[in-house]
Amino acid sequence: MTEATLTGEQLKRAGQQLSLNFAGGWSKRVVAEFRGWAAIEKARGMRTCTIERFRAEAQNHPPTHKAWGSLPRLLVKAGLIESTGEYRKAAAPRTRSHPVALWRLP
């Protein structure tokens, strides 16, 4: 399949994988960090979260900001989050309140 015949979703996944490849071991470290962070959030009674909030508190940052886009897929695959199908306005001022996904902490 040539790039011209790939769908948007396929191109997105290819770009995310490229970012992950460049990020090296970041994906394993950040998933482990999220696991601990989510356990604390659940102990506090939280049942949902946004990646934006975790990212603001995370200690493990990738060598390129582009790798953050692949994090939800990694966390879903690890069974750490589930889609709610809902969105919220982003909290960070620089994002101009764009919609961010709300995730369930199973």
Digit-coded pLDDT (tens) for 49-74? 999 999 999 999 988 887 888 899 99
For residue 58, the SS3 value is coil
pTM above 0.85, yes or no: no
Measured CA to CA, the distance from residue 34 to residue 53 in angstroms comes to 11
Nearest CA-CA partner of 36 in 58, 21, 19, 18 = 58
User: 84-94: per-residue pLDDT in tens?
Assistant: 999 999 988 88
- The pLDDT confidence band at residue 14, using thresholds 50, 70 and 90, is low
CA distances from 56 to 15, 32, 78 (A): 23, 16, 21
CB 20 within 8 A of CB 69: no
Instruction: Label residue 25 by pLDDT band (50, 70, 90).
Output: confident
Secondary structure E strands in the chain? 48-49, 82-89, 99-104
